Amino acid sequence: MKNNIQPKTDYLRLYGELKSERATWLPAWKDLCAYLAPTRGFFDGQTPNQGRRLDHKTLLDSDPCLAVEILSAGMMSGLTSPARSWFDLGLAPRELSDAPGVREWLTEVKKRLEDAFAASNVYSTLHMFYQEIAVFGTAAFLLEEDPQKGIRCRPFTIGEYCLGTDSLGRVNRFGREFFLTVPQMREAFGLENLPPSLLVSSAPNRYHKIIHLILPNKDYSRECLDNRRMPYLSVYLTESGHLLRQSGYREFPVIAARWEVKHAADAYGRGPGWKCLGDVKMLQKMQKAKLVALDKNTNPPVMVSANVQGEVNLLPGGITRYNGTTDAAVKPAYQVQADLSSLESAISSVRSTVRAQFFADVFLMLSAQNYSNMTAAEVAERHQEKMLVLGPVLERLKNELLDPLIDRAFALLYRQGFLPPAPESVQGLKMKVEYVSLIARAQKAAGLSSLVQGINYAATLAAANPQIADRVDYNRALEEGLTALGVAPALLKNSEK
């Protein structure tokens, strides 16, 4: 049988190759963890339920961590808010979406997808996902089926997984290490699949390393329904190579996205955290200098006269006796003249730089109360440069996060019977997803001002030559404008009526 691969010689080798490719990224990730995400990251030598003390000697200023939170919360509310609709479903061409029975089916499918996202841990996973991708430039989670809720996510943190890409730069290989006790392994894989050495272990609650690999299946067969012949192969094995489970997936189940990649072949990305790490380190050093200066100013080092009797009492109201004449018994060793206001101003400047790298001003602007009455076009116009910078990132997130999330969730729910059967007229057609989140609308609205200017320009010329007005398709312009504002053009009456 072709699929009878020797785990110890092949699977462990493949996982070792993924780890080897990841090795050069680890030092940077650990540095980013220390300064920007002290509660994230899982690296070699760590085990579950291991409380790590935060290094407060490194993190003297928490403002960079706050900037990360602002970005992740802004991405959450701006891209995938659980409080408002952020996607619509359709078919290509658009006319098919309005066919009898199809629009009702699409509406019901969208509602059930939204219900499944809300009932599962999708949104809590996405919040962690945005934190990870902001700091490390790479984030991933596993999307699997759940008998009760339809879908469930298994979020990962940096350092606990490895990625590999295909010839087009798309992530198609995944490996990770995790830990289970013997009782947990028995529950997950069945008693009959555990190695005998673990069954006689004298420490059943000790953690054992498990390796999970997901790879393209060389023995994929479209005709065979065996889960070992599916497009993607999934294997679990012990550190020694004992195979615990072998199965498969119809779609690649790992949602992995990169903020940006330096080279098309890179499996991992770089994000805002990479760009501002130097500023963050400088900020912490400046805070330390400020605290030292403040401490010396309020509690300076002193020189004590040789005529002092007994111990020097530096407490408020304390008395120190000495045999002296005119010289002070205790005086500062040197005069501290720290310019704390200038130092504070410099710190504030660096903080602003770090916040700008994490687009904190954009996301705070989108959620600010005083912008609640502004249109999406006005928001986009005020921060058009920032939206342009975010444009490539949002497009990558659409391709690597949002599209795979909806496609995978739809497939899982449909196969389990959580979605209504598709009408015969749409069988085999590709579903089209349109994003209507706050950020998506703001991007579309950025072009609305150009549309309005064009219409006004045509109206100005039409005052001199009325025939020009006949060349403008105002019905089409209205539809384009409503689409940019996030209003469904389907609300318009038929112009022929």
| pLDDT the model gives residue 497 | 45
What token pair was written down for 32?
């980013």
Q: Calculate the alpha carbon distances from 406 to 143, 203, 403, 423, 434 in Å.
A: 11, 43, 5, 20, 11
Q: Spell out a b/e string for 413-447, using b for 16 or more CB atoms within 10 Å of the CB, else e.
A: bbeeebbeebeeebeeeebebebbbbbbbbbbbbe
Beta bridge partners of 161: 176
Give me the pLDDT at residue 235, please. Answer: 95
Q: How far apart are CA 435 and CA 427, in angstroms?
A: 23
Q: Is 210 helix (H, G, I), strand (E, B) or coil?
A: strand
Q: So what's the pLDDT on residue 327?
A: 67
Residues of the chain with pLDDT under 50: 1-5, 369-371, 497
How many Cβ atoms are within 10 Å of 452's Cβ, its own excluded?
13
Q: How far apart are CA 15 and CA 416, in angstroms?
A: 32
Burial 385-397 (b: 16+ CB within 10 A, else e): ebbeebeebbebb
Instruction: Return the structure tokens found at 295.
Output: 């401490």
Q: What is the dihedral of CA 190, 191, 193, 197, to 10 degrees?
A: 140
The structure's pTM equals: 0.86
Single out the residue of 263, 310, 290, 276 nearest to residue 134, CA to CA.
276
Q: What is the CA radius of gyration of the chain?
A: 30
Distance separating alpha carbons of residues 312 and 151, to the nearest angstrom: 70
Count of CA atoms in the C-beta half-sphere (13 A) of 440: 22
Q: Where are the domains of the chain?
A: 1-299+337-446, 447-497
pLDDT score of 270: 96
The pLDDT assigned to 369 comes to 44
pLDDT at 4: 45
pLDDT of residue 457: 86
